[in-house]
A and B are shown apart, each in its own frame.
Chain A
Amino acid sequence: MTIIKTDPNFKHEVAAEPGGEAIKYCFACGTCTAACPVRALDERYNPRKIIRMILLGLRDRVLESDFIWLCSTCYSCEERCPQGVPFAEIITAVKNIAAREGKLHPAYVTQLDLLKQFGRLYELEEFDNKKRLKMGLAELKTTCDEVAKLLDDE
């Protein structure tokens, strides 16, 4: 028999995050899971199951999982939830907690670095500006250091 470590405070922790407040209203109808286009293709991602895991306090299993990163942010779950539980926000809250514990998915580590460097996800080079000018589009600044200043404390 395996003893599963639980943390009954986890649901309160999620509820304390901006966007996580409504988690305790879930009555497990599964509309979120039925609406989810990711779940339709990949069994790893199941919104109802994730909510139950949070409510049961399976903190480590949730935060260390691969599945929390699989939300496509389509918002179908929260648009259809009869209880007004915004699951897209809840999974964001869970990912933010994971990020603070050093478990941020490497794709986002890269994106944060790019934003700090260029102010955008992609580097806009002078070559791109030439193409833009040729089409009659405005030349754009290639960097924005304000982004790094704002993100450095985050």
Chain B
Amino acid sequence: MENKYALFLGCTIPLRGRQYEKSAVEIGRLFGAELEPQQDFACCGFPIKSATREGTLLLAARNLAVAEEAGLEVLALCSSCASVLAEAAEELAEDDDLRKKVNEKLAKVKRKIEKPPRVRHFARWLYEEVGPEGIAEKVVAPLGDFRFAVHYGCHYLKPSWAFHDAEDPEAPHSLGDLLRATGADVVDYAEYKKCCGGALLGIDAELSLALAGEKLTRVKAAAPDAVVLVCPFCAVMYDDNQKKVAAQLEAELDLPVLFLPQVLGLALGLSAKDVGLKLAKNKCEKLIAAFAEAK
């Protein structure tokens, strides 16, 4: 395992997903990897793809150039950042003319892409480099009393070509496998592969919240202790906006929402503080108490 990685935070995490970042960095440390944000990383480009695909490619390429210059592989915490950076890395590696064209534009900001660095989602890296067995070996606080609902989201898996078909988006299992390694149960629920609706929040809030509502209704029916996910924007929909989703549904939700490395971290002996458990918007006191007891 290479021990140092360029940690890509994107726009949302530095402000609204610090518990995700903190727990991921701590998990990296437990397995001998240093995850370091690069100061020159900026937006991945994904948010403006509807306006300008070329602009998206330029922003993605700029970030890849920053990592290439540092000689580091990229680990992204946000699934949309992971997919747009992986797409760009793939296109720029395959197409010499495109790379030349992009480099002409990047010259304006004194950046250059020669060989795009490898890009992976943090959870993909964890699954491939540590794996469920590696997690299981280091569990000190088994989570056998807990039941979790996994939300894979879209861009952790898709477009599958950008991730070299690392996992079949029609039958994803990696996140569940990692969670089960802690001894926890992973519940089945209908429509578990569906989208959170996050990309539409600024376009049509009612429709966006309806997408989240459909999914959270299914999750609620499975009665898990928490929803576990790997994307800060899915968390914006399910955690930050849960009250609005519930109001639109005219239903009670009260679902704690946690990021995968927070849960894994607790099983691996990190403290509630180390994994930022109190930063969830939808308070999870019951869960915090239960975790304290499990320890």
Contact = CB atoms under 8 A, between A and B. Distances in A.
Interface string B38-62: 0110110001111111110011001
Interface string A110-153: 11100100011110100010011001111011001011011101
Contacts of B203: 69-70, 105, 107
Contact of B169 (A41, A79, A121, A136): A79
Contacts of B109: 146, 149-150
Given A38-B211, A72-B200, A75-B159, A146 B111 contact: yes
Nearest to A41: B210
B12 interface: yes
Interface stretch (B119-127, B141-149, B191-199, B287-295): B191-199
A74 B210 contact: no
A41 B11 CA distance: 29
A88 B150 CA distance: 25
Given A72-B195, A121-B47, A144-B42, A151 B55 contact: yes
A92 interface: yes
A42 B37 CA distance: 39
Given A18-B53, A37-B194, A135 B159 contact: no
A37 B58 contact: no
Contacts of A135: 18, 22, 276
A57 interface: no
A53 interface: no
Interface residues of B, number: 56
Contacts of A136: 22
Contacts of A124: 14-15
B26 to A, nearest CB: 9
Contacts of B14: 120, 124, 128, 132, 140
B39 A99 contact: no
B46 to A, nearest CB: 8
Contact of B36 (A86, A92, A138, A149): A138
A104 interface: yes
A71 B158 CA distance: 15
B108 A70 contact: no
A88 B159 contact: yes
A101 interface: no
A96 interface: yes
A74 B158 contact: yes
Interface string A61-83: 00000000111111110110000
B170 interface: yes
Contacts of A96: 50-53
A111 B12 CA distance: 13
A150 B105 contact: yes
Given A92-B49, A147-B42, 20 more contacts: A19-B53, A37-B214, A70-B207, A72-B195, A76-B154, A79-B159, A88-B159, A93-B53, A95-B50, A115-B42, A122-B11, A122-B15, A122-B16, A132-B14, A140-B14, A141-B39, A146-B40, A147-B59, A150-B55, A150-B59
Q: Shortest 7 CB-CB distances between A and B: which pairs? A: A75-B158, A119-B42, A74-B195, A144-B42, A121-B11, A107-B202, A154-B55
15 contacts: A42-B210, A70-B204, A72-B197, A73-B154, A78-B159, A86-B159, A96-B52, A121-B12, A124-B15, A132-B18, A137-B18, A146-B111, A147-B43, A151-B52, A154-B55
